[in-house]
Amino acid sequence: MTDHKYEAAKAARALVSAGQTIGLGGGKTIAYLAEMLAEDVQLMQSLTVTSSSFDTTVLLHEKGFRLVAPSLVSKLDIYFDGCDVFDRQLNALKSGGGIHVMEKLLAAAADKFVLLGDAGKFQTALNPKYPIAIEFLPQALGVVRNKMELLCPGTRFVQRMSSEKTGAVISDNGNMLADVYFDAFPDLEALDIRVKMIPGVVGHSLFYRMAHQAVISGDNGVQYIYPV
């Protein structure tokens, strides 16, 4: 059986050139890409690499890449990352990992932001079974919950709670996380702006018109998708 994540990573490998500064997100497809890049020692040694993911950073360190911290990056040639789902305009939801704030910083720094994954990630419209994750200051819990209910009546606001300890899940940035579930998404541009404007919100997991290209693999082979 074809491993479509592997095939998408192999296609993405061809987009990397010697001497570039690149960013890598998290997940299995990205791990495949990192391993492929490491196989070409000469190419690997020419690259400067950063990551939004702790797991990916550990892998890159083990493979011997030249790593820089995201805080030292102002510009990337290309940033690769996976997602939960994306649509024809390459609007994407990246809710699962809870690291969307760092992912969005690196995506914004990139001349080219490329989504990777299997063909199941591509849908005509974003599927509301996936929530929008919100990272917010701990002191803003009540305000953010109330504002989301006023902005989007009928949504479900679910704070992420830890299964490993008592209390809330805390982000890499020391903030709280919540998932907001919709029956149907409203206008995405308005949603993107309104959620960002809530006092106390650090960021959310809707990547509105940020991606420049998607590389996916499925039963019809590898596809290169551009926003319409």
Q: Residue 1 pLDDT > 90, yes or no?
A: no
The per-residue pLDDT for 37 is 98
Cα angle for residues 38, 63, 85 (degrees, 5° grid): 70
Query: 202-228 pLDDT, tens per residue?
Result: 999 999 999 999 999 999 999 999 999
Same domain, yes or no: 45 and 109: yes
Is residue 118 within 8 Å of 216, Cβ to Cβ? yes
In a domain, residue 191? The reply is yes
Is residue 40 within 8 Å of 71, Cβ to Cβ? no
Query: 125-179 pLDDT, tens per residue?
Result: 998 999 999 999 999 999 999 999 999 999 999 999 998 889 999 999 999 999 9
Domain that holds residue 155: 132-203
DSSP 206-219: EETT--SEEEEEET
Find residue 92's DSSP bridge partners: 86, 207
How is residue 88 annotated by DSSP?
Answer: T
Q: d(Cα 94, Cα 86) in Å, to the nearest integer?
A: 9
Q: d(Cα 207, Cα 101) in Å, to the nearest integer?
A: 10
Choosing from 103, 135, 149, 189, the catalytic residue is 103
The per-residue pLDDT for 74 is 95
Find residue 215's DSSP bridge partners: 116, 224
Q: 46-58 as b/e, with b when 16 or more CB fall inside 10 Å?
A: ebbbbbbbeebbe
Same domain, yes or no: 54 and 103: yes
Confidence of residue 36 (pLDDT cuts 50, 70, 90): very high
Same domain, yes or no: 142 and 77: no
Tell me whether residue 145 is exposed, middle or buried, using C-beta atoms within 10 angstroms of its C-beta: 0 to 12, 13 to 18, 19 or more.
Answer: middle
Q: d(Cα 203, Cα 197) in Å, to the nearest integer?
A: 9
Same domain, yes or no: 37 and 111: yes
Same domain, yes or no: 99 and 136: no
Same domain, yes or no: 111 and 187: no
Is residue 114 within 8 Å of 213, Cβ to Cβ? yes
Query: 156-166 pLDDT, tens per residue?
Result: 999 999 988 89
Same domain, yes or no: 194 and 214: no
Confidence of residue 200 (pLDDT cuts 50, 70, 90): very high
State the alpha helices, DSSP H only, in 40-172.
41-46, 54-63, 100-109, 141-151
Same domain, yes or no: 28 and 100: yes
| Amino acid (1-letter code) at residue 168 | A
Q: d(Cα 199, Cα 216) in Å, to the nearest integer?
A: 37
Same domain, yes or no: 18 and 120: yes
Is 103 tagged catalytic? yes
* CATH code for the domain in which residue 158 is found: 3.30.70.260
